[in-house]
């Protein structure tokens, strides 16, 4: 009898295509975890628990439990999420699909220490902020990361890559660096403005445009200082956004504005995990952003791409782009920043609505 019962249970589980696992550290919670067929393979980290199944869905449930009131939960139209999943399931990566079920409320979101690669982060006491569109909802979350703006970030080092291999190219950190600055301070414009401040002003304009166009926005940095290093920022986007766009201006020392470009994936990084699973999508998003900017009359540098080995790229499991909107000579008055934001919106539309 007992064996029969066990067999029956196994069959039911197989038919359902899912397993119910207890959430470690969450006591009574038990959550359905659907293992996608093309699940990304986690690399072995220094202290990450690589034996646990990927549980983006389960973990996110915990996060929105923290920020969501029961009232909000009740009025959520669950059918919307299901519809969305059905429509887009073939297009989205597993980590992107997780978003569909998870993002349910506006408000602050912290790094969940159980998320993949979260253990590599060293600065993570701050929080990002989720903004939900109220009109024309698209159920697409854009991670907007105003670059820099983490006090003390230059004094802390994190692994350049999840597999602890050295950087393939130079950039803010030298080629060959196994550890990189957790967050660099950014450059200073020739007029004395700080890149971090201008990047945040641009990010806020982009946020408002995105919300008006039905996109949800995950503002990775919503203030002058956020205590989230580049890895924490990336992991939060991996789990709560459909893409990750960081906004920068290049400190290149030139005396003229060389124009906009995105940071593309260096060849050496393309076979690394998790880069191998997502870099082509990141390139497509980057190219689309550049074309959006070009369409608004923004100057474009060369072919619009420059390959640099970034921490952001190395840890991203969703399409992820560092967009450089010029350099220390670039005009950054209100009108010009608005033009950048409009160009980026066009690029985002080009990528998600094509």
Interface residues with Zn ion (CB under 5 A) are 147, 186, 248
**Comparison of 147 and 304: residue with beta carbon closer to Zn ion:** 147
| Strand order across the beta sheet in which 260-264 lies | 107-109, 128-131, 216-219, 141-146, 243-250, 320-327, 260-264, 300-307
Closest CA to 277 of 90, 40, 92: 40
Check: CB of residue 141 under 8 Å from CB of residue 241. yes
CB closer to Zn ion out of 248 and 332: 248
CB of 66 to Zn ion, least distance (A): 31
3-state class of 81 per DSSP?
Answer: helix
- Quick check: 312 and 244 in contact, CB under 8 A? yes
Q: Which is nearer to Zn ion, 130 or 220 (CB)?
A: 220
Torsion region of 148: left, alpha or beta (phi above 0 gives left; psi -120 to 50 gives alpha): left
What minimum distance in Å lies between the beta carbon of 286 and Zn ion? 15
The residue among 106, 156, 141 whose CA lies nearest residue 127 is 106
Minimum gap (Å) between residue 249 Cβ and Zn ion: 6
Q: Give min distance, CB of 330 to Zn ion, in A.
A: 12
Q: Which residues contact 264 (CB under 8 A, 6 or more apart)?
A: 283, 286, 305, 306, 307, 308
- Whose CB is nearest to Zn ion? 248
- Pick the closer one to Zn ion by CB: 196 or 348: 196
CB of 189 to Zn ion, least distance (A): 12
SS3 152: coil
Query: Cβ of residue 248: shortest distance to Zn ion, in angstroms?
Result: 3
Q: Which residue number, 68 or 185, has a Cβ lying nearer to Zn ion? A: 185
Q: Which is nearer to Zn ion, 94 or 147 (CB)?
A: 147
Q: 24 or 151, CB closer to Zn ion?
A: 151
Q: Which two tokens stand for residue 342?
A: 């409009």
| Distance separating alpha carbons of residues 87 and 35, to the nearest angstrom | 19
The least CB distance from residue 263 to Zn ion, in Å, is 10
């Amino acid at each position: 009898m007992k064996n029969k019962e066990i067999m029956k249970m196994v069959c039911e589980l197989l038919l359902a295509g899912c397993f119910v696992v207890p959430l470690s550290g969450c006591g009574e919670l038990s959550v359905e975890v659907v293992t996608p067929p093309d699940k990304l393979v986690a690399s072995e980290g220094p202290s990450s628990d690589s034996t646990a199944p990927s549980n983006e869905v389960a973990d996110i449930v915990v996060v929105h439990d923290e920020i969501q009131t029961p009232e909000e939960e009740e009025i959520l139209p669950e059918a919307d999420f299901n519809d969305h999943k059905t429509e887009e399931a073939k297009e989205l990566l597993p980590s992107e699909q997780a978003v569909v079920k998870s993002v349910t409320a506006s408000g602050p979101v912290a790094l969940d220490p159980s998320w993949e690669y979260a253990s590599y982060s060293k600065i993570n006491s701050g929080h990002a902020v989720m903004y939900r569109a109220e009109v024309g909802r698209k159920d697409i979350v854009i991670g907007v990361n105003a670059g820099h703006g983490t006090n003390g970030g230059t004094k802390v080092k994190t692994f350049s890559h999840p597999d602890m291999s050295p950087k393939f190219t130079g950039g803010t950190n030298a080629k060959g660096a196994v550890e990189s600055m957790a967050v660099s301070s950014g450059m200073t414009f020739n007029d004395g403005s700080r890149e971090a401040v201008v990047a945040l002003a641009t990010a806020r304009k982009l946020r408002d445009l995105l919300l008006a166009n039905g996109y949800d926005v995950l503002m990775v940095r919503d203030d002058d200082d956020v205590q989230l290093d580049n890895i924490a920022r990336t992991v939060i986007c991996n789990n709560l956004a459909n893409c990750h766009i960081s906004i920068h201006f290049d400190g290149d020392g030139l005396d003229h504005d060389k124009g906009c470009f995105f940071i593309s994936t260096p060849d050496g990084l393309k076979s690394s995990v998790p880069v191998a699973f997502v870099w082509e999508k990141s390139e497509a998003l980057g190219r689309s952003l550049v074309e959006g900017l070009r369409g608004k009359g923004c100057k474009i540098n060369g072919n619009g791409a420059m390959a640099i080995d970034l921490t952001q790229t190395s840890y991203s499991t969703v399409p992820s782009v560092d967009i450089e909107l010029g350099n220390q000579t670039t005009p950054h008055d209100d009108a010009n920043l608005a033009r950048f934001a409009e160009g980026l919106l066009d690029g985002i539309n080009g990528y998600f609505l094509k």
